[in-house]
Amino acid sequence: MNKRRLAFGLSLGLAVLGGAAAPAEAAAAPMSPAAFRMPAKSFAELSAEIAKARAIDPRAFVAVNGIVSHAPEADARARGRKAPVALYLAKLGPSALMPMLEMLAVDAPRGIPAESAPGLRRDLIEAVGLLKDARALPVLYAILEDTTEDAATVRTVTEAIARVGTDEAAARVLGALDASRDEERTRSILAGMGECRRLRVAEALAARLRSTGDEATARAAARSLGRAGNAWAWKTVGDRREEAKIRETAARALVDAYVRRDGEARYAASNALMVVDAPETPAIVAEAKKGASPEVAKALDKLAQRFARNPTRAR
């Protein structure tokens, strides 16, 4: 484990607390239910990997625990609404994976105030996703497939799976979307899907944006398409073979949404188009103007002007 990362993990608690003790009213968090939804074989394999990782590098477990145990105090002292605990954990690197999976699937962090436990669990899920390690997928799948999870957790775990980005990960996210019968859960899955930069995911988002009659769902799909096609984000992707098609797919669906919708959904589509910055956008807008009503044609002219001076354009 990198010595600087280790020192960071071990010292974070003292740094954010200034040496303060944990609140007296802190109570042990309940064991995570993820283990009980995992297939027995997957859980046994995970347990063995955790034990092996602990034997090889127990310091990683200490470092993760140091950050996690003081996360509530870090949140309380943050100038914003929440401390970036997930980033702190992810910065520890690959050796932090098994300690975090242990907390998510085997033995939840202890001594955490009840009101802090859900947010901390989401921090762990997010941090696991940022590591982009496929070994985390069985645990993440178990969380995603639990239909009793709250909307924020569903979005976070969808993003985490999407970031892993394998074919299987994409298929599981799409399967969860197809199986969802709850509008809030559906919107949460849609909101997280954009982190999976696969054509089949972009096509599913485009299809949902076109078909939904719910404005909140349309906004979620539009924003997620913006993330899937984000021109800046694509510069950091190793495999860019599907980039052009994904950005074009997103642009076509977003222009269509801009034409057919108004209010916040139209605004979301416009913003996403700027982020995607597909080179086909001017032609798609021009095509949409053919046969459009005077009011829609005027709105499309404004969209074209905005795109021409796009302030988010990747250079």
CA dist list (Å): 16 to 7, 59, 103, 156: 14, 20, 22, 25
**Which has the minimum average pLDDT: 37-46, 119-128, 175-184?**
37-46
Residue 45 pLDDT exceeds 60: yes
Does pLDDT of 87 surpass 60? yes
Residue 20 has pLDDT above 50, yes or no: no
* Pairwise pLDDT comparison (243 vs 8), residue with the higher score: 243
The residue ranking higher by pLDDT, 25 or 97, is 97
pLDDT of residue 37: 82
Q: What are the backbone angles phi and psi of residue 161, rounded to the nearest 5°?
A: -65, -45
Beta-sheet strands, E only, within the chain: none
Supply the pLDDT for residue 150: 95
Q: Which residue has the tokens 């280790």?
A: 6
Q: What is the SS3 assignment for 97?
A: helix
- Condensed to tens digits (0 to 9), the pLDDT of residues 252-291 reads 999 999 999 999 999 999 999 999 999 999 999 999 999 8
**Percentage of the chain with pLDDT > 70?**
88
Q: What is the pLDDT of residues 152-205, one digit of tens each?
A: 999 999 999 999 999 999 999 999 999 999 999 999 999 999 999 999 999 999
The residue assigned the tokens 């939840």 is 108
